Chain A
Amino acid sequence: MTTPLLTLDRVSRRYDGEGGSQLVLDEVSFTLERGAAVAIQGASGAGKSSLLNLIGALDRPTSGTILLDGASLADLDDDASSRLRAEKLGFVFQDHHLLPQCTALENVLVPTLARARSASEGASPAAVARAAALLERVGLAGHAHKRPHQLSGGERQRVAVVRALINQPLLLLADEPTGGLDRAAAENLVDLLVELNRETVLALLVVTHAASVASRLDEVFELFDGKLARPGG
């Protein structure tokens, strides 16, 4: 029996603010197998992004444990969690957050620099080849040297997906990836994510409002009142 890729055990997250303390996640427990594709839905403010941030080691839970690929995220300092994100995770956001001064190819290669040892160390030839292949895979081979403002919204988001995949992560975290796209572009993007999930061992965890997106994935969870449950469960 293989170890689950991701395990959340009674994870809570409480935020202290001016209006007092607010419990956003309340003892959430959840397991994600390797290669699985899961959608998480919930109303605005339900804590979907908070959950994603905790899984991505961008935030720490108030209580509970999170294991990614068998390792606890609680023990990681800033450097180690950064390394973990660089090696095992990929992120796609609603806003692509591409660097406007870099070409599509350069944007894709930026994550490889997270592990560079010197200012002059660039991406390896293998990484460059992989970036080119991935861009070709998503239909952007002819746009590799264009800058973000020269691409459409859907193209930009596809570049963002490729950027998330460049380091061959185990888990792709997507936060409302189709939020800023028109319907056709959104469908294209979901097709791409699903295909990638099926072709590789890449697991998908997609936070989305859109039922059309959620329905394309293996499982759907809903975050409500701080608890994670299957819809209607």
Chain B
Amino acid sequence: MSGGMLGWRLGGRSLVHPRRTHLGVAAGAAIATAVLVGALGVGDSLRHSLTEGALRRIGEVRLAMDTGERAFTAALADALTAALAAPGAPATAALHLNGLAIADGGRRRAPDVHVYGVEPGFWSAGGLAPRALGDRQALVNRTLARALGVREGDEIVLRFAAPSALPRDVPLGSDVTETRTVRVAIERVIDAHELGDFDLSGDPEPPRNVFVALSLLERGSGLVGRRNLVLATAPIDAGAAGAGSASPPIVPAALRASWRLEDAGARLRRLGPDGAWDVTSERIFLAEPLARAALAAAPGRAALTYLVDSIESASGRATRYGMVTAYDPIAPADSPPAPVPAELAPDQVVVTRWLADQLGVDVGDPLTLRYWVFGLNRHLTRASGHFTVAGVVATESKGGDRALMPEIPGLTDVESALDWDPAPELDVHPERLSDAERTYWREHRGAPQAFVHRSWALGAGGWRTPYGDVTSVRLDGRLAEEALRERIRANLEPAELGLGFQPVRDQALRSVGTGVASYFGYLFASLSAFVILAALVLTVLLFTFHVEQVSPEIGTLRAVGIPARRIRAWLLAEGAVVAALGCALGIPAGWLYVWLMLGALAGPWSGAVAGAQVAFHVDVTTPLLGAGVVFGVSVLGMTWVLSRRTRHQPHALLASRFGVPEASHWSRRAAIIATVASAVLALALASWGARASAELATELFFGAGACMLLATASAAAAYLMPAAERGRAMVTFARLGHLGASRRAGRSLAAITMLASGTFLVISVNAFRLGGEDRTAAGTGGFALFARTSVPVAPDLSTPDGLAALGLERLREVHILGLRLGVGDEASCRNLARPRHPPLLGVDASSFAARNPFRFAGLLTPTASPWTLLEGSDDAEVIPAIADEAVAKWVLGLGLGDTLEYLDDSGRPFRVRLVGMLKGSILQGYLLVDARAFAARFPSLAGHRVFLVDAPSGREDEVARALAESALADHGLTITPAAERLASFDAVQNTYLSIFTAVGGLGLVLGCAGLGVVVLRNVVERRGELAAMRAIGFSRRRLRRLLLVEHGLLLAWGVGAGTASALVAIGPTLAERGSVPVALLVSTALAVIVNGLLWTLVAARVALAGELLAALRHE
């Protein structure tokens, strides 16, 4: 028989008659595989479920054009759906409004409801058959039905903001908070697979949807002939589709060819036969790209017509509520005429004959204009301009006509000045008008009474608004209408007006593919790393014991001339087969682990996945990866063990006895030096961490922890190299234990390190558990309530007038800060997909700076007044932003100074730069920017939708009730106590910590079990000595005590080292809190010690229970 065959037969016999150590090796590999496969499998399941969910939400839609408040014409929608449809891939258009649903006579309300007005073909986007909805019929999704407690046949009322062409921030319209309602009967409650959860946003929560007939919503909203949503299901060229956070919209040829000025809210009219062309906007102010395109299309000039409060002469005579137009006095040749001379200076004014007569002024006389400057939140500031009359022109002269006055509901659509119904903020009182003024209105309507230089109007304190500075563009009238339209269109990109498609399917997949869900498996695996490591250490440790057990056999084989190399190969093959069997067993155990974990994620740990429903799904490659990694690491460990264990001389192997060499002076000194150096480094890193930015602090925490673990491990190594007590006989029970522990220093050090790492992780991780009064005060910013509405609220609730507008006068002593809310996906840590557009939140930086709420984790530019950082930017294209630290770092992957690209209302890109990070706050989920910068880029998103309420202490409930019962209820108000909102965010992190603790605890149990195995092995190895000690007078009890002392020392070292490392690493956190979590420290240490002692005791009892006497004979 050849040596090889003998070897394989020996190995085979080992497997057929497995030793207990083989079972242990297989069990260790199986546990490690199960945990790794399980962790990765949980990630697979989550990713798969989120992907499925995302695709279920968008159906088969690949491209979507969602213009929000800026509806376009049905004609464009028809052209687009016809052009984008393909055989088997339909396209459809819809109206999509946000609002609230009311049931049961107003007793039940559901905010944040998406109302879709759809055509029968809409359902094809979900791969369903076309379905026509009756005029008053509605389909509601399961989430909304549950929220409202309604079912088929029930009636509900849908309330939404009346779409306003006027910017809500401009207090010109008569009733800006107007909402509209539609009453419908529920035909059916539909599920997600019926497109019930249709949603283009990436919000993690299932949407509340209601679908009604398009015609009904058109009528109900006043948007007849309008659409704001086009969906296409045909595949698109992936190369043309960006899927980044703010990729430029896709403009298909059909859109480029079909859009008209009316789709951008623009109007083109001729001012009388053969007169000039007049380009205006239904939104009063022309968007800058539109004004620019119009002026580039033909010779012309821009006008800005403004309502002034009064025009006064030096003698004190005045007229009220007149229009004044700002013109560029110099214009290209062939521009329409304007009643201003080319030499008009900025401080000069041209007046109409009527005004000159009314005021008694003439050329050269001084004149004062008093007017309101539009601020944010419908704030008006009085201002005035002082001029000298440069000329007098005829009333309603060419270029001074009544068409210059923008169409303002409540002003331009009434016959008599007495019927004016302006916004209350304007403080206009028609009854105060003089007869002459009323006559003027009757005869000339809003024809300007005076003309000023446009440069003055655009200067400081002038009439520039965030929404534009052109109310009309007058163009040369010689051009034919179609030619002019074509020229203007040619000068405009549809995307500049907010017209363009987004590759929503690709974005959804990318969002899931790059968010937390994409690496959740690896996150879970890293949380489980300790338990995997413990199982692997156990595997290798048990294999070591096996090799030690068969040392005499190895010695025999070596003695008969078989090379060590070959013996190693046999043993490695044997170990590999055992490990492979263990790994194979670990795979089904891993599936079971996934199943159990999904059960926990659906229950107590649901916070970690934001309550997402996660179905079992394990990729084919996952078990192979998990088992492969564990097998590979096990075999590597075995190779290492064999290289160390088979190098001894045959006689030593035969005797199965290796000396206990005394550690050299140098190795002990080296260990001490390593201890001191690592400890100093750990302390330095920890103290640096106390001052470092939040991003760096995390790395420094791990660095300090790792260094301190190294320091304590080095100290333990030094401890396990006891010096002989020369000249002294120091033999005591404790020293005997110490010497016993140092006998197998490597084994003892492994046990100490495992216990220390586990203790370190459990303690330090739990020290980050969020909560506590101090944290709540910082995280809520001192605000008691966080409120949000579905429909923007125009009045500024921080002012008495704003409160009065909503009937909330009794809340005068309550401070309510309104914030502007942009469109976007929730960017809190509850969103497991990467948000495409985290919503911007426009905050009044100056009032925040005055109050200085919340605590900062890091600032780009250190300052005592961090909120002022929002106000300044060196670059017009970049606006500063502040975000919650957790969101910035973990959800968005942003650091201080990083930027994120957005598109404004006009489709123009701009960047948002992170200048500050808040410590966990109730504003998690948003990027905070200055409200002015917000308003300038998103004029269509005026009004407030988020409110921070500072209620007097003890009156929080009363204030919440008052708000809930006010007119805000019709805006879809939801109120959450700020502390509760903060706790809901904290719950995510705390859930992760719970998982970490549980998995880390499991690892600690394994580590303690490993300690038990070490005890068993130590006892078995020393049975002879222990029997001899029995013979020389040690009772069993005393021997057990000796073993407890010996292994208790390892436990104490492990727990002590882990605790010390944790304390150093979390030092900065503790210093900030000002307290040490004594209970946590004590309970964790006690749990580990009790657990470890239990294992030690059991192992000692088992080992000493047998008959020791046989061991007294020669072994």
State whether A113 touches B736 (Cβ < 8 A): yes
A23 interface residue per 8 A CB criterion: no
Q: Which residue of A lies closest to B1036 (CB)?
A: A78
Which residues of B712-740 are within 8 A (CB) of A? 724-727, 729-737, 739-740
B1032 touching A163, Cβ below 8 Å: yes
Whether the Cβ atoms of B731 and A82 lie closer than 8 Å is: no
Among A58, A97, A101, which residue has its beta carbon within 8 angstroms of that of B1109? A58
Give Cα distance in the complex from A53 to B1037, angstroms: 19
| Least CB separation from B741: chain A residue | A101
**Quick check: B1024 and A97 within 8 Å, CB to CB?**
yes
CB distance from B1109 to the nearest CB of A (A): 6
Q: Which of B737, B742, B1029, B1115 meets A95, CB within 8 Å?
A: B1115
Q: Are A82 and B736 in contact (CB under 8 A)?
A: no
- Partner among B662, B725, B1028, B1033 whose Cβ is within 8 Å of the Cβ of A97: B1028
B729–A93 contact, CB under 8 A? no
> Looking across the interface, which residue of chain A has its beta carbon closest to that of B1045?
A119
Are B732 and A116 in touch, CB under 8 angstroms?
yes
Query: A51-106: which residues lie under 8 A (CB-CB) from chain B?
Result: 53, 56, 58-59, 78-79, 82-83, 85-87, 89-91, 93-95, 97-103, 105-106
* CB within 8 Å for A114 and B732 given contacts A95-B1115, A147-B660: no
A131 contacts the other chain (Cβ, under 8 Å)?
yes
Known: A97-B1027, A106-B729, A116-B733. A86 touches B662 (CB 8 A): no
Q: Which residues of A contact B1031 (CB under 8 A)?
A: 56, 58, 85, 91, 93
Alpha-carbon separation in the docked complex, A58 to B1031 (Å): 7
Complex Cα gap A102–B660 (Å): 9
Q: How far is the CA of A59 from the CA of B1030 in the complex (A)?
A: 11
Which one of B733, B1030, B1113 lies within 8 Å of A82 (CB-CB)? B1030
Please indicate the chain A residues that have their CB under 8 angstroms from the CB of B735 in the complex.
106, 122
B1038 within 8 A of A: yes
Is A128 located at the chain interface by the 8 A CB criterion?
A: yes
Interface 1/0 per residue, A108-139 and B, CB below 8 Å: 01111111101111110000100100000000
Check if B1090 is an interface residue, CB within 8 A of chain A: no
Complex: A131 Cα to B1033 Cα, angstroms: 17
Q: What is the CB-to-nearest-CB distance from B301 to chain A, in angstroms, rounded to a whole number?
A: 100
Q: Is B768 an interface residue (CB 8 A)?
A: no
Which residue among B731, B733, B1029, B1109 has the maximum number of chain A CB atoms within 10 Å of its CB? B731
Is B846 part of the contact surface with A, judged by Cβ < 8 Å?
A: no
A145 is an interface residue with CB less than 8 A from chain B? yes
Q: Chain B residues near A97: list those with CB within 8 A.
A: 1024-1025, 1027-1028, 1112
Least CB distance, A160 to chain B, in whole angstroms = 9
A175 at the interface (CB under 8 A from B): yes
> Is the CB–CB distance between B731 and A78 below 8 Å?
no
B1114 at the interface (CB under 8 A from A): yes
A149 an interface residue at 8 Å Cβ cutoff? yes
Q: How far is the CB of B806 from chain A (nearest CB, A)?
A: 76
Q: Which residues of B contact A87 (CB under 8 A)?
A: 1033
Q: Are B1033 and A114 in contact (CB under 8 A)?
A: yes
Check B660 against A128 for contact (C-beta < 8 Å): no
Who on chain B is nearest to A88 by CB? B1033
Please judge, given known A-B contacts A100-B660, A109-B729, A113-B732, whether A78 and B1035 are in contact too, CB under 8 Å: yes
- The residue in chain A whose Cβ has the minimal distance to the Cβ of B1029 is A110
Asked if A4 CB lies within 8 Å of chain B CBs, one says no
Out of A91, A119, A123, A145, which one reaches B1028, CB within 8 Å?
A91
Q: Least Cβ distance of A114 to chain B in Å?
A: 4
Which chain B residues border A82 with CB–CB below 8 Å? 1030, 1033-1035, 1038
Chain B, 1007-1032, CB within 8 A of any chain A CB? 1024-1025, 1027-1032
Distance in angstroms from B655 CB to nearest chain A CB is 11
Instruction: Report if B563 contacts A (CB, 8 A).
Output: no
Q: Which residues of B line the A interface, CB within 8 A?
A: 659-662, 724-727, 729-737, 739-740, 742-743, 1024-1025, 1027-1038, 1045, 1109, 1112-1115
Which 6 residue pairs spanning A and B have beta carbons closest together? A86-B1033, A97-B1028, A114-B1033, A82-B1035, A149-B659, A122-B732
6 A–B contacts, CB within 8 A, in A order: A78-B1037, A91-B1031, A100-B660, A106-B729, A120-B733, A147-B659
